[in-house]
Amino acid sequence: MSKLWQKTTNVNELVENFTVGRDREFDEQMAAFDVMGSLAHTEMLQSVGLLAHEELIIIQQELKKIYADILAGNFKIEPHVEDIHSQVELLLTLRIGEAGKKIHSGRSRNDQVLVDLKLFFRNELQEVVESVQKLFDLLISLSEKHKATLLPGYTHLQIAMPSSFGLWFGAYAESLIDDLELVLAAYHITNKNPLGSAAGYGSSFPLNRTLTTQLLGFENLNYNVVYAQMGRGKTERIIAQALSSIAATLAKMAMDQCLYLSQNFAFVSYPENLTTGSSIMPHKKNPDVWEIMRGRCNRLQALPNDVAMMTTNLPSGYHRELQLLKELLFPAFADIKNCLHMATFMLEHVEVKSNILEDAKYAYLFSVEEVNRLVLNGMPFRDAYKHVGYAIENGEFKPDINVNHTHEGSIGNLGNAQITEAMQKLVSQFPFDKVEQAVNKLVN
């Protein structure tokens, strides 16, 4: 197997297969970002005199061809090649000769994979934010559409007080804002440049790390080279917290939908082709999408702990098990994006039931409304509470089902405009445009 570190001794095949593991599988997802890192690194090498201008032109032309092949789906890590870094350098050397051997100056696989991961994570986090935005916009739209449609509110799974579909949809919209606050923190920590930290102790070459930071569109540097390496594992843990927060929102939403679709609730329905049936019970319309989503999101909520257990007893410096973090994070991004997409798709087709609260079994939902009416007419709250309680016990309670909630965030005053403004303000803090401009300039 071709390796950047190979000298004369061949590693035992069993050891090789065990230590490489699934690295090549996940490395292919980072291929474009590995080339981006090399484009920035080689431009910096030329600027400090470690590459001739003519060599830089040849190297960059070929790197951009490899980048185009990756985007076109015409790139693979060959079976005899260890990782993405080896594959790119091997291709470059085969195509342009000696100049290809110079691109690793001032760089280690340690900071090379750090850059690849940070660029990959940065891109994935942007896709997550965009998917969250789509779901958020739909939830706000549904909240406005169904703001007058009342729904039972529950505590302890007992009917409690009147709610509305406007409140239900809007609640999950606002929850996504807090989730994106964590994503923003994860993005800021991800968007720092570790390139130039080499194996974790810097380089004797006169590297210009500020230049590669600018070329790659990073917000800032990881200045201390030891900390740049320590950031591997820490970055993943913070990202895992952000993804698990979104997953918690989706899992709760999925559970609500499973309940609401059941015959005992019957608050919502979906077109038959979005549900599944039973092999024995012909009446069944099962919420399998929401159930799978609930399961996947519950698993994602364990992600921070999985990352922590992988890294919790590691000292500073690089350790090989850090590569196993890819097996945790890469599928997690795919899962959360898929769940966000499916939640949006399902809710685009949801049908909500009106007149739910006209059913007599929901009469006690209005007990607090009646207590409040008595208080507004001058009765002390405790006396009003007892008065309504006695009426319920004696079977004399006759509710007025008119609901008049007007304070901020209540049934009659959802605050969706303010919630939307908060989301827009939050998303504007992600420097997506700056990153896109830097990347386009680098690769085109």
* Range of lowest pLDDT (112-116, 137-141, 209-213, 317-321): 317-321
Task: Indicate the pLDDT class of residue 282, thresholds 50, 70 and 90.
Answer: low
The pLDDT value recorded for residue 163 is 96
Helix, strand, coil percentages for the chain (3-state, nearest 5): 65, 5, 30
Is pLDDT of 6 > 60? Answer: no
- pLDDT (tens digit per residue) in 412-444: 999 999 999 999 999 999 999 999 999 999 999
- pLDDT given at position 5: 47
Reduced to 3 states (helix: H, G, I; strand: E, B; else coil), residue 150 is strand
Per mean pLDDT, which range of 13-27, 52-66, 355-369 is the poorest? 13-27
The percent of residues above 90 in pLDDT, for the chain, comes to: 79
Residue 279 pLDDT more than 70? no
For the segment 275-294, the average pLDDT, to the nearest whole number, is 81
| Whether residue 247 has pLDDT greater than 60 | yes
**How confident is the prediction for the chain on average, in pLDDT?**
93
The SS3 assignment for 326 reads: helix
Res 2 pLDDT > 70: no
Q: Which of 29-33, 320-324, 366-370 has the highest mean pLDDT?
A: 29-33
| Tens-place pLDDT, residues 43-92 | 999 999 999 999 999 999 999 999 999 999 999 999 888 889 989 999 99
| pLDDT value at residue 176 | 98
Q: At what angle do helices 432-443 and 31-47 cross, to 10 degrees?
A: 70
Q: What is the pTM of this model?
A: 0.92
Give the pLDDT mean for 292-318: 94
Beta pairing partners, 2: 81
Q: Give the residue-averaged pLDDT of 311-338.
A: 93
pLDDT score of 412 = 93
Full set of structural domains in the chain with CATH:
13-102 (1.10.275.10), 109-144+164-206+223-356+417-443 (1.20.200.10)
Instruction: Name, in order, each residue with C-beta under 8 angstroms of 310's C-beta and a sequence gap of 6 or more.
Output: 233, 321, 322, 324, 325, 328
Mean pLDDT across 102-109: 93
Per-residue pLDDT of 118-172, as tens digits, reads 999 999 999 999 999 999 999 999 999 999 999 999 999 999 999 999 999 999 9
Residue 275 in this model has a pLDDT that exceeds 90: no
Nearest CA-CA partner of 32 in 73, 60, 61: 73
pLDDT of residue 18: 76
- 2-19 average pLDDT score: 65
Over pLDDT 70: what percentage of the chain? 95
User: What would the mean pLDDT of 224-249 be, rounded to a whole number?
Assistant: 96
Residue 104: per-residue pLDDT: 93
Q: Is 20's pLDDT higher than 90?
A: no
Mean pLDDT across 382-394: 92
pLDDT reported for residue 9: 65
**Tokens (6 digits) for 333:** 């991004």
In this predicted structure, what is the pLDDT of residue 7? 56
∠ at Cα 136 (343, 178), nearest 5°?
A: 105
pLDDT-based confidence at 398, cuts 50/70/90? confident
Can you tell me which residue has the tokens 């606050």? Answer: 181
Q: How far are the Cα atoms of 37, 100, 196, 198, 351 from residue 105, in angstroms, in the given order?
A: 13, 11, 10, 10, 61
CA 335 to chain centre: 9
